[in-house]
Structure 1
Amino acid sequence: MSEKGPSSYFPSIEKTYGLPIQHWLDIAADQLSAGTPHMRVVESLKTEHGLGHGHANAVVAYAKAKLAG
């Protein structure tokens, strides 16, 4: 059974950017915990770290769900 949802992007994110997914999740979680809105964290990952929109959004959505859980 194939992975669904935000985590389905993780192998591609690691391959594309050469860093473990935890690196990106930590950045997103830190910003979300500080009260930064979802789309502002997405924009930060895109502009400051060079992630594509889909990848950045997947990382933020996953981190946000984990923080809420």
Structure 2
Amino acid sequence: MTDKPLKGPAAYFPSIEKTYGRPVAEWQALVRRRYPAKHMELVAMLKTEHGLGHGHANAIVAQTLAEDKG
């Protein structure tokens, strides 16, 4: 485990897991199943279909897209 604080979208992950009771990997899998949807379409899906707040949904989508980009 690292002593560095989380930065960027990943900084939201502990709060997301605590608030919604599911690991981030599950949320990312939901996002990946909707590819090739656009960023804001994916955010809207997490908000409307799963009740996530905008910041949490955006963090999951941003991190997932960044991981899969390269």
Q: Percent identity over the alignment?
A: 54
Amino acid of the residue matched to residue 63 of structure 2? Answer: Y
**Runs of 4+ with >6 A deviation:** none
Amino acid of the residue matched to residue 7 of structure 1? Answer: A
Amino acid of the residue matched to residue 16 of structure 1? Answer: T
In structure 2, the gaps of 5 or more residues are none
Instruction: Give the count of matched residue pairs.
Output: 67
d(CA) in 1 for partners of 2:31, 2:60: 7
* Aligned residue in 2 for 1:58: 59
**Deviations for 1:18-66, whole angstroms, at most 9, x for unmatched residues?**
01111101111221xx310100000000000000000000000000001
CA RMSD of superposed structures (Å): 0.8
Larger Rg: 2
In structure 1, the gaps of 5 or more residues are none
Amino acid of the residue matched to residue 7 of structure 2? Answer: K
Tell me the TM-score normalized by structure 1: 0.92
